[in-house]
């Protein structure tokens, strides 16, 4: 009897365990099944990272280059909408044939862009040929750069990007919504009307969540992207070329992007900045990235770039593609320069200061050099900056290269004998220059010189 009671108790315990297990299994199925009994797409967890639908600032360089690739594809077919400025235009004698070709180009552009959109989106927002043409034709063959990008994750494979494009020629913004499917490297695009429906504006975008209905994207010949093969060099080249474009097309924007302290110290106002561009246009518009260095600090990453003329372009980046710019390395000393300067001996310090003067000279920054001239020397030789500028232009070269010769010290005065040559060696031109310099606290100095 006692054994029977024990057996019954064990059966009851087993039954309870089974009931509890069945309950939790049922609850688990409810979590992964939709109302029609289909398995829901699971929430993606990788390490401590959990996919969510909140819109965030893009911080992935790889994804930046994916979006850039998509934008470039879209822009290719936008250009088809204006045959008159299409690079491949062929002049035809017959006006009727030319008109027909114009329509063919236009229709090809429209059809290509339609193939970059989902059928559901086009149906919901009444997207037809006229809407596509009216939305994009005015941007044909314009200079378009990527501004801000925000991203929301819908699933493991699906991400939606809110892309603010800057149309430099028109001083306008073109907004695109790009959804990518990383499982097959495909994408769909949507116009600003999608953002309007969701109530998304730049000022409130990170307060929004997006429930993207797209589960997968069907591939066609117009809506795939390449997996980017990028490196630090690729990214820095992007920064370099973007700012070069701003200098050439929208100097006001380039001026705004300068570091505030540097801007006031170097240029004071937009007029001086535009004068700098005018004076250095031959070097600015054809400059190429020659070499670079990356410095990592707690608040920013610094990309120190040098072009083929030996001039600097420095980017201080707080987040992806959010940076301020310095156009030289001498107006404001960097942390790296100050550390190196403080560790240097007197000869090295004089040499580093001479390098600043050469950089300023090659940038035609006569104001900076003039402020470093000894007051007595300045008064006796160049009582105005105009006289100094005229003398330098008549005596030295368009782009100057320095060779260091003898170094002498007399008390607290230092003399360095130099040879200055043009950057394009011709075997003839040479200037023997003696620089006399005094060093002060906080990296400061004054100098005089003699050119033969």
Q: Does residue 140 belong to any structural domain of this protein?
A: yes
pLDDT of residue 44: 43
**Residue for token pair 């490297």:** 185
CATH at 400? 3.10.450.100
Q: What's the first-to-final CA gap in the chain, in angstroms?
A: 123
Phi, psi for 148 (deg, rounded to 5): -85, 145
With 0-12 CB in 10 A as exposed, 13-18 as middle and 19+ as buried, what is 350? buried
Bigger pLDDT: 427 vs 441: 441
Reported as a pLDDT band with limits 50, 70 and 90, residue 24 is: low
339-379 pLDDT per residue, tens: 999 999 999 999 999 999 999 999 999 999 999 999 999 99
pLDDT of residue 96: 76
Q: Are 410 and 434 in contact (CB under 8 A)?
A: no
Q: Are residues 62 and 203 in the same domain?
A: yes
pLDDT of residue 49: 45
In degrees, rounded to 5, the angle at the alpha carbon of residue 144 between the alpha carbons of residues 140 and 146 is: 145
- Per cent of the chain over pLDDT 70 is 86
pLDDT of residue 39: 45
Beta bridge partners of 410: 413
Q: How many residues does the chain have?
A: 452
Comparing 229-243, 257-271, 416-430, which segment has the lowest mean pLDDT? 416-430
Bigger pLDDT: 329 vs 94: 329
pLDDT of residue 97: 76
Q: Are residues 249 and 160 in the same domain?
A: no
Q: Are residues 158 and 254 in the same domain?
A: no
Q: Are residues 203 and 61 in the same domain?
A: yes
pLDDT of residue 309: 86
Q: Does residue 128 belong to any structural domain of this protein?
A: yes
Domain coverage including residue 417: 365-451
The kind and range of the H/E element at 316 are strand 312-319
- Per cent of the chain over pLDDT 90 is 75
Tell me, letter by letter, the H, E, C secondary structure of the chain: CHHHHHHHHHHHHHHHHHHHHHHHHHHHHHHHECCCCCECCCCCEECCEECCCECEECCCHHHHHHHHHHHHHHHHHHHHHCHHHCCCCCCCCCHHHHHHHHHHHHHHHHHHHHCCCCHHHHHHCCCCHHHHHHHHHHHCCCCEEEEEEEEEECCCCEEEEEEEEEECCCCEEEEEEEEEECCCCEEEEECHHHHHHCCCCCCCHHHCECCCCCCCCCCCCCCECCCCCCCHHHHHHHHHHHHHHHHHHCHHHHHHCECHHHHHHHCCCHHHHHHHHHHCHHHHCCCCEEEEEEEECCCCEEEEEEECCCCEEEEEEEECCEEEEECCCCCCCCHHHHHHHHCCCHHHHHHHHHHHHHHHHHCCCHHHHHHCECHHHHHHHCCCHHHHHHHHHHHCCCCEEEEEEEEEEECCEEEEEEEEEECCCCCCCCEEEEEEEEECCCCCEEEEEEEC
Is the model's pLDDT at 85 over the cut of 60? no
Q: Are residues 284 and 310 in the same domain?
A: yes
- Highest mean pLDDT among 12-21, 86-95, 138-147 belongs to 138-147
Handedness of CA 218, 79, 152, 234 (dihedral sign): positive
Q: Are residues 280 and 374 in the same domain?
A: no
Reported as a pLDDT band with limits 50, 70 and 90, residue 1 is: low
Q: Which residues contact 383 (CB under 8 A, 6 or more apart)?
A: none
**Residue for token pair 């909408």:** 81
Q: Does residue 249 belong to any structural domain of this protein?
A: yes
Q: Is 59 helix (H, G, I), strand (E, B) or coil?
A: coil
Q: Are residues 172 and 301 in the same domain?
A: no
Q: What distance in Å separates the CA atoms of residue 57 and residue 205, rounded to the nearest whole number?
A: 9
Q: Does residue 239 belong to any structural domain of this protein?
A: yes
Q: Does residue 120 belong to any structural domain of this protein?
A: yes
400-427 pLDDT per residue, tens: 999 999 999 999 999 999 999 998 765 5
Q: Are 153 and 180 in contact (CB under 8 A)?
A: no
For residues 444-451, average pLDDT? 97
Q: Does residue 405 belong to any structural domain of this protein?
A: yes
Q: Are residues 127 and 242 in the same domain?
A: no
**Residue for token pair 């080249």:** 237
Token readout for 415 is: 């003399």
Reported as a pLDDT band with limits 50, 70 and 90, residue 282 is: confident
Reported as a pLDDT band with limits 50, 70 and 90, residue 93 is: low
Q: What distance in Å separates the CA atoms of residue 314 and residue 300, rounded to the nearest whole number?
A: 12
Q: Does residue 223 belong to any structural domain of this protein?
A: no
For residues 212-231, average pLDDT? 92
For residues 61-84, average pLDDT? 93
For residues 221-233, average pLDDT? 94
**Residue for token pair 């470093």:** 372
Q: Are residues 242 and 290 in the same domain?
A: yes
Q: What is the pTM of this model?
A: 0.82
pLDDT of residue 48: 44
Is the model's pLDDT at 32 over the cut of 50? no
pLDDT of residue 21: 63
Q: Is 217 helix (H, G, I), strand (E, B) or coil?
A: coil
Question: How large is the angle between the packed helices 129-136 and 95-114, nearest 10 degrees?
Answer: 100
Name the nearest CA neighbour of 236 among 144, 158, 304, 165. 304
Token readout for 223 is: 């809506």
- A 10 A CB-CB count for 290 gives 12
Q: Are residues 105 and 203 in the same domain?
A: yes
Handedness of CA 394, 397, 398, 402 (dihedral sign): negative
43-52 pLDDT per residue, tens: 444 444 456 6
Is the model's pLDDT at 236 over the cut of 70? yes
Q: Does residue 416 belong to any structural domain of this protein?
A: yes
Q: Are 273 and 328 in contact (CB under 8 A)?
A: no
CATH at 194? 3.10.450
Q: Are residues 182 and 70 in the same domain?
A: yes
How many domains is the chain built from?
Answer: 4
pLDDT of residue 6: 66
Q: Give the chain's mean pLDDT.
A: 89
Bigger pLDDT: 234 vs 84: 234
Is the model's pLDDT at 187 over the cut of 90? yes
Token readout for 141 is: 């063959």
Bigger pLDDT: 364 vs 14: 364
Q: Are residues 241 and 197 in the same domain?
A: no
pLDDT of residue 423: 81
pLDDT of residue 46: 46
124-179 pLDDT per residue, tens: 999 999 999 999 999 999 999 999 999 999 888 999 999 999 999 888 899 999 99
pLDDT of residue 27: 58
- Highest mean pLDDT among 29-33, 41-45, 386-390 belongs to 386-390
Is the model's pLDDT at 31 over the cut of 60? no
Comparing 134-138, 281-285, 390-394, 437-441, which segment has the lowest mean pLDDT? 281-285
Is the model's pLDDT at 334 over the cut of 70? yes
Comparing 2-6, 191-195, 256-260, 324-328, which segment has the lowest mean pLDDT? 2-6
Q: Which residues contact 78 (CB under 8 A, 6 or more apart)?
A: 109, 113, 136, 137, 139, 140
321 in the Ramachandran plot: left (φ > 0), alpha (ψ -120 to 50) or beta?
left
């Amino acid at each position: 009897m006692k054994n029977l009671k024990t057996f019954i108790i064990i059966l009851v315990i087993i039954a309870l365990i089974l009931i509890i297990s069945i309950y939790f299994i049922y609850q688990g199925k409810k979590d992964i099944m939709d109302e029609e009994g289909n398995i829901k797409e699971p929430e993606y967890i990788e390490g401590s990272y959990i996919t969510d639908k909140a819109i965030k600032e893009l911080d992935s360089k790889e994804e930046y280059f994916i979006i850039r690739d998509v934008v470039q594809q879209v822009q290719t077919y936008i250009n088809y909408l204006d045959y008159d400025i299409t690079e491949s235009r062929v002049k035809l004698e017959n006006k009727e044939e030319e008109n027909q070709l114009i329509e063919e180009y236009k229709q090809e552009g429209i059809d290509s862009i339609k193939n970059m959109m989902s059928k559901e989106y086009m149906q919901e927002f009444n997207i037809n040929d006229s809407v596509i043409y009216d939305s994009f034709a005015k941007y044909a063959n314009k200079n378009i750069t990527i501004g801000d990008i925000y991203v929301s994750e819908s699933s493991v494979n699906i991400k939606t990007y809110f892309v603010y494009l800057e149309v430099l020629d028109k001083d306008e913004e073109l907004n695109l919504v790009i959804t990518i499917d990383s499982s097959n490297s495909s994408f769909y695009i949507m116009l600003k009307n999608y953002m309007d429906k969701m109530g998304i504006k730049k000022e409130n975008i990170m307060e929004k969540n997006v429930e993207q209905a797209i589960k997968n994207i069907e591939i066609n010949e117009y809506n795939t992207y390449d997996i980017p093969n990028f490196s630090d060099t690729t990214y820095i080249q992007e920064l370099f070329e973007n700012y070069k474009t701003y200098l050439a097309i929208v100097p006001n924007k380039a001026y705004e992007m300068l570091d505030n302290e540097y801007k006031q110290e170097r240029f004071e106002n937009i007029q001086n900045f535009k004068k700098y561009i005018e004076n250095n246009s031959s070097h600015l518009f054809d400059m190429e990235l020659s070499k670079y260095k990356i410095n990592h600090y707690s608040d920013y990453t610094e990309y120190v770039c040098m072009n083929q003329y030996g001039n600097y372009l420095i980017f201080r980046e707080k987040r992806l593609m959010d940076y301020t710019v310095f156009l030289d390395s001498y107006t404001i000393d960097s942390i790296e320069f100050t550390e190196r300067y403080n560790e240097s001996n007197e000869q090295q310090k004089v040499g580093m200061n001479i390098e600043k003067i050469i950089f300023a000279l090659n940038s035609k920054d006569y104001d900076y050099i003039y402020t470093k001239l000894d007051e007595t020397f300045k008064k006796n030789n160049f009582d105005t900056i105009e006289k100094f500028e005229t003398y330098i232009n008549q005596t030295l070269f368009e782009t100057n290269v320095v060779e260091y010769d003898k170094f002498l010290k007399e008390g607290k005065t230092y003399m360095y004998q130099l040879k200055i040559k043009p950057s394009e060696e011709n075997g003839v031109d040479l200037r023997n220059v003696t620089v006399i310099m005094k060093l002060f606290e906080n990296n400061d100095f004054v100098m005089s010189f003699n050119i033969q």
